[in-house]
Structure 1
Amino acid sequence: MKDLIYKEFKLAIHPTCYLFLLMGFMLLIPNYPYYVAFFYQTLGIFFIFVGGQANNDVYFTTLLPIPKRAAVKARFGIIVIIELAQIVVSIPFAVLRNSLNPAANQAGMEANAALFGLVFIMFAIFNLIFLTMFYKTAFKLGLPYVFACGAMAIFVGAAEAVIQLTPALKIALDTLDPSYLPQQLAVLIFGMVVFTLVTVLAYLRSAARFEKIDL
């Protein structure tokens, strides 16, 4: 598996994935919907598959003396690494933003622990929809990405609506007040658990679908 992950880094990962890591700086923008900073990385992941199609990556990978499931696991591995890297790189920008400009964000959630918990769930939704739909055919990309983006947008809109319209949640989650850090950490931990479970489910479903495809 280590060799397959290395192959993904050397041959599959798209340069925009590294570029989009820098989008964490968008957390410094005042009054901005910070989810957008993380959305860009899903586009980088999409480009990995676009590049793979251009290079017949799926076909050539299946020629290797490995199970199809191993190829799917390696691709999931690189995607999870990219998503986690996006979150880790964004944390210093969130800390810096809150130090330089502690004023409230008028365009959505503050750059706090709860935001990162919701981002974990957003990535989980992307993995479940985009990856499982792609591995059903191993070549259709556009529609799975559109559906995944639509689902992420619905989740973000619903989460923001619930938090902003529920006074108790808004007070506890949409704030930089450290006294509410335990509640925000609870959302972060919940998001991490959801991300882990849903991504594992997405992998199992994707691997099962890919094994049924006759290439």
Structure 2
Amino acid sequence: MISNLLYKELRLAAHPNLYIFSAMGALVLIPAYPYTMIFVFSCIGIYISFMYGRETNDIYFSSLLPIKKSDIVLGKYLVVIVTQLASLFISIICAIIKNTLIPNNNPVGIDANIAFYGFGFIIFTIFNLIFLSSFFKTAYNAGIAFLKALVPIILIELLIEVSVHFPKLQWLDGTSQELLVKQLPILILGVTIYIIFTMWSFKISTKRFSEVDL
């Protein structure tokens, strides 16, 4: 069932731009760039895909299938999670290449290191919690839901990029083995928060969508 839902979403419901924005993780190859923007691009890709689904009446036609309403929500969550993890995976591969060829730190803001990806999971968590739960309140107003999520994630990204310029927080910007080990708790915390709050968001979205009259 899960594989069928995911296949349907990726094959029929996802907008082509979803894949393009997921590949933006490769921007970490640029020596001087605000790398946290890759998380924004991933969120934009998801938003465009939801808008595309709205215009094609994807949720309405999905409701005609012999599946539960909660399965429709699950399908959307699966494609969001896969998209976010794919973006992170592409970024990690490119970050390894970049740090091998150009070991200098990113002068613009935080470098692509363990702390960076921990913060990435937290940003995605906030997006999922706000955007998805807001969207499934009506299963239609994707634009309003996206704006609600965009403001806090932009503020958090600015905070992350600026924070590494303070002397006491420069350890967040390093890529040496010693600093990467020191950054591990941030990654563990980020992954934990992502799992717990995305599951919580799914429960909220399922409950709200069950009350929507299609």
- TM-score, normalised via structure 1 length: 0.93
Alignment partner, residue 57 of structure 1: 58
1:65-214 equivalences under 5 Å are: 65-165=66-166, 167=168, 169-170=169-170, 172-214=171-213
Letter paired with 1:179: E
Equivalent-residue separation in structure 2 for 1:96 and 1:66 (angstroms): 44
Alignment partner, residue 36 of structure 2: 35
CA apart distance, 1:25: 2.2
CA apart distance, 1:164: 3.7
Letter paired with 2:130: I
Letter paired with 1:213: V
Letter paired with 2:82: I
- SS of structure 2 residue aligned to 1:105: coil
In the alignment of these two chains, the number of paired residues is: 213
CA apart distance, 1:178: 1.1
- SS of structure 1 residue aligned to 2:137: helix
Equivalent-residue separation in structure 1 for 2:84 and 2:121 (angstroms): 9
CA apart distance, 1:109: 0.5
Unaligned 5+ runs, structure 2: none
Unaligned 5+ runs, structure 1: none
Letter paired with 1:191: G
Aligned sequence identity (%): 38
Letter paired with 2:192: V
Equivalent-residue separation in structure 2 for 1:176 and 1:54 (angstroms): 44
After superposing on structure 2, the runs of 4+ consecutive aligned residues of structure 1 that deviate more than 4 Å are: none
Cα RMSD (Å)? 1.4
Equivalent-residue separation in structure 1 for 2:121 and 2:210 (angstroms): 28
Q: Contact 2:32–2:106 at 8 Å: present in 1 too? A: yes
CA apart distance, 1:158: 2.8
Equivalent-residue separation in structure 2 for 1:196 and 1:77 (angstroms): 13
- TM-score, normalised via structure 2 length: 0.94
Letter paired with 2:136: Y
Equivalent-residue separation in structure 2 for 1:160 and 1:33 (angstroms): 7
Letter paired with 2:32: N
Please say which of residues 76-85 and 5-14 is displaced more in the overlay. Answer: 5-14
- SS of structure 2 residue aligned to 1:145: helix
Letter paired with 1:16: N
